[in-house]
Amino acid sequence: MSNPNNSTPYLNYYWDSSSRENMQSQSLERNSDNKHTASPNSNYYNKHTASPNTNYYNTNSTLRTNELEHTNNDQNTLDNFISKPSPLSKYKILNTLGTGTFGRVYLCRNKTSLQHYAIKVLKKAQIVKLKQVEHIENEKQILSFVSHSYIVKLEEAFQDTRNLYMVLEYIPGGELFSHLRRVGRFSEEIARFYAAEIVFVIAFLHSKNVVYRDLKPENLLLDQFGHIKITDFGFAKFVEERTWTLCGTPEYLAPEIIQGKGHGKAVDWWAIGILIYEMIVGYPPFFDTNPFGTYYKILFCDLEFPSFVSPSARDIISSFLSVDVSKRLGNLENNAADVVRHPWFFKIDWLKIQDRQILPPIIPKYSFDGDTSNFEFYPEVPIEQEPENGIDPYKSYFVNF
Ligand SMILES: Nc1ncnc2c1ncn2[C@@H]1O[C@H](COP(=O)(O)OP(=O)(O)O)[C@@H](O)[C@H]1O
Ligand SMILES: [Mg+2]
């Protein structure tokens, strides 16, 4: 194996001991009736849904306390009555690629260059209602700030009176989720390839003090060649030490998020453990029909492996899935460098990962420009028109977008 540290410095960034301070190991007693049964008998098969603002998320300390105090006082300014051509008119909206809590992602085409893009359309009213203004601002700011071959590129962002728009590079190979569900589970060889690309990009984000917080197969796309592109920075955040927002997707939540103890970059390493398990086994290690059942299983962390999982895969997964963050792989003294040196990754040439030189195991079919056959079919819903009076009741919330 080449030494990745020579040319990939962020795989060896220094351990920030402050990020682990006060992160105590869990002292929950195991209840013998509470065995997690990792059998695919519930809804694991469906998409993991990130729930940003249900009741159990109300400890969210990053929400703006002044949100409810906003008024529409500034709505009568002249500015609201000057009609400006919407930047949206540059694009022809085509079919839906994916749906989410705040809106949809559509394929679109620039009318001049004829280039295809994915446009993420987020409803302002919904964002304000679910108190997600700050998360959406983070999404745009972080996507504008980071640039990496494994991260989807943000072309431009704009808004009109109803919606926010993020125009992204179109990644045509579909979600890793669909490819995984189609075949059931991946061989360890295939899982290792995707895991290596993901480790690489997460280490990069952490080196920029960005914690991603929503790692799951639905947010990992395959490009035309089959390499990973990570999308959806809706929960990403600049974090040097700890943060307290309770957000993410139940099956992928780290125990410290559920406990509301404050969390940091280590949550992404936990999620990589869940992801490797799900790729190899075909379903996540902890799931239940309701999120609370899932949280219970995560906190007890009773990990069971089917017999076909190799000893070294068991070891890396268990090392990521350490409830005690101070013992979690990726969050130890050498951070990501410990991950790349783990025996399960022994066959990986990290310099080739860096240069995207390993031939991907799945090469998506992409027959013509704007081919969307790798995405699920969604009944179409047109983008809501702007109101004729041009008034934007949410203007004051999105000045930073
Ligand atoms: N750049 C892109 N190219 C192709 N499809 C995309 C792109 N970005 C998102 N999608 C599709 O849209 C779905 C929803 O987008 P995402 O950003 O994850 O929104 P949400 O925050 O609602 O989960 C993704 O899971 C994916 O299927
Ligand atoms: Mg998503």
SS (H, E, C) 328-384: CCCCCCCCHHHHHCCHHHCCCCHHHHHCCCCCCCCCCCCCCCCCCCCCCCCCCCCCC
Is 214 assigned a catalytic role? yes
Rounded to the nearest integer, the mean pLDDT of the chain is 83
Query: Confidence class of residue 84 from pLDDT cuts 50, 70 and 90?
Result: low
Instruction: Check pocket membership of 118 for ligand 1, CB cut-off 6 A.
Output: yes
Segment 199-216 shows an average pLDDT of 97
Q: Is a pLDDT exceeding 80 seen at residue 123?
A: yes
The residues spanned by each domain of the chain are 4-38+175-354, 87-172+369-398
Binding residues: 120
Q: What is the pTM of this model?
A: 0.83
Segment 30-43 shows an average pLDDT of 34
Neighbours of 306 (CB within 10 A): 10
φ and ψ of 5, to 5 deg: -75, -20
Instruction: Check pocket membership of 98 for ligand 1, CB cut-off 6 A.
Output: yes
**Ligand 1, pocket-test mutation among 115, 232, 372, most atoms within 8 A of CB:** 232
Query: Confidence class of residue 262 from pLDDT cuts 50, 70 and 90?
Result: very high
CATH architecture label of 4-38+175-354:
Orthogonal Bundle (1.10)
The tokens 């006060």 sit on which residue? 22
Residue 124 is predicted with a pLDDT of 94
Q: Which residue is closest in CA terms to ligand 1's atom 26?
A: 98
Q: What is the DSSP letter of 151?
A: B
Q: Which residue is closest in CA terms to ligand 1's atom 27?
A: 98
- The tens digit of pLDDT for each residue in 131-184 reads 999 999 999 999 999 999 999 999 999 999 999 999 999 999 999 999 999 999
Q: How far apart are CA 301 and CA 271, in angstroms?
A: 13
CATH of 87-172+369-398, one of 3.30.200.20, 3.40.50.2300, 3.40.640.10, 3.90.650.10: 3.30.200.20
Q: Which residue is closest in CA terms to ligand 1's atom 12?
A: 98
- The tens digit of pLDDT for each residue in 337-347 reads 999 999 999 99
